[in-house]
Structure 1
Amino acid sequence: MNLLIVSDIFGRTKALDDLADYFDDKKIQTEILDPYHRRYMDFENEDQAYREFHAETGLGNYINLLRQKLLGKKPEKTVILGFSVGASAIWAVSHHIEAEPFKGICFYSSQIRNSLEIKPKIKIELYFAKAEPAYDVDAIISKLEINNNVTCFKTKFMHGFMNERSKNFNEDGFLKYREIIKTSIARHLTGSVDVG
């Protein structure tokens, strides 16, 4: 089985490598997709990362990069785990890839609100921040959860809580949701029914 981690605007970092290593075992091969072509970027803050992401890649190109990556994969069970813009890219391709063998796990995508018409072919878990400045989280969840393949969760943490470089990083939230991710991956690996 494969785990493809689709990074946020910070790209590949030591912390993201450590997260990939945490899930890597004999049954699961992990890989990271980032917008900077495997280069480690050392951004001072989120504003700098945001500017660089849009100057170097942009969301449209990141979506295409992910689509090409997934189309090139062997037909093997794969979980696609994304954070922020990575989660937005997963959502954008979720109706272009086949239900088997893929599953998506997405954390705090802000751009999903702009493409609510998408009907994912894959099972996808969406983890939202407790609040977002640009939209009403509860209203978006109510529009998304009518999709059969979508399961929504509202966390009690802010956007970026899984990334230690974010001003909203929360270690307790990170540890809790790292275990939730691990359980979700295991369910996909064994073919168990998702219970959220």
Structure 2
Amino acid sequence: MSIILVSDVFGITPALLKLKDKLGANTIVDPYKGKSMGFKNEAEAYSCFITTVGLDRYVSQVVKTLASLDSQTTLIGFSVGASAIWRLSLNNDNNIIKQAFCFYGSQIRNYTNIDPCFKINLVFPKNESHFDVSKLKEELTKKNNVITTQVDYLHGFMNYYSSNFNQVGYEQHVALLRSNAS
């Protein structure tokens, strides 16, 4: 059994490497193929992701990583990483994905037609500026294999480099992941 972290637009950061160790994760998939980008802020990270990678290419990177596995895995994704996991949840070739935990995947709202082939836990923030989180949560809760939770934290609460980082929320969810991700 393995755990794979699928990063947000910041990619590999010292904080994400610490999270990998805390969770005993085997691999980090990131948009920049392991290169530390050192972004100054979320706007810079998002702009780089959109212009150099994009969601479709990122989904392909995650699928390629999964293709090399020979045992079941748990996926844990953040923001665009969560959206990538949602997009690939249509298939579970070789039954390789045991489950997924997806934090504040805001692009999921554009792919509500997907019916995941594996258990997927969606953790939504308190609110999002571009859509009604409660309405999306209500719609997705009706699907098989989907568990939704809406927390009192904002998009990015698990990312130390986000302006919305929340230490309490981070610690709570690391503890939840430790007890449920393996």
Please classify the TM superposition score into its range, dividing by the shorter chain length: over 0.9
SS at match of 2:43: helix
SS at match of 1:37: coil
Once the two structures are TM-superposed, the CA of residue 115 in structure 1 deviates from its matched residue by: 0.4
Are 2:16 and 1:16 aligned? yes
SS at match of 1:67: helix
Distance 1:142 1:68 in 2: 32
Residue 81 of structure 2: aligned partner: 86
TM-score by length of 2: 0.96
What CA RMSD, in Å, does the superposition of the two structures yield over aligned residues? 1.1
After TM superposition, the structure 1 = structure 2 runs for residues 180-195 of structure 1, keeping only pairs within 5 Å, are 180-186=176-182
Gaps of 5+ in 1: 187-196
Once the two structures are TM-superposed, the CA of residue 99 in structure 1 deviates from its matched residue by: 8.2
Distance 2:121 2:44 in 1: 29
Gaps of 5+ in 2: none
SS at match of 1:104: strand
Residue 47 of structure 1: aligned partner: 43
Once the two structures are TM-superposed, the CA of residue 98 in structure 1 deviates from its matched residue by: 4.2
TM-score by length of 1: 0.89
Structure 1 stretches (4+) deviating beyond 3 angstroms? 98-101
Residue 136 of structure 2: aligned partner: 140
**8 Å Cα contact 1:6-1:32 kept in structure 2:** yes
Aligned residues between the structures = 181
Distance 2:13 2:167 in 1: 17
- Aligned residue identity for 2:120: I
Aligned CA distance change for structure 1 residues 99 and 168 (closer, same or farther; 3 Å) = farther
- Aligned residue identity for 2:89: S
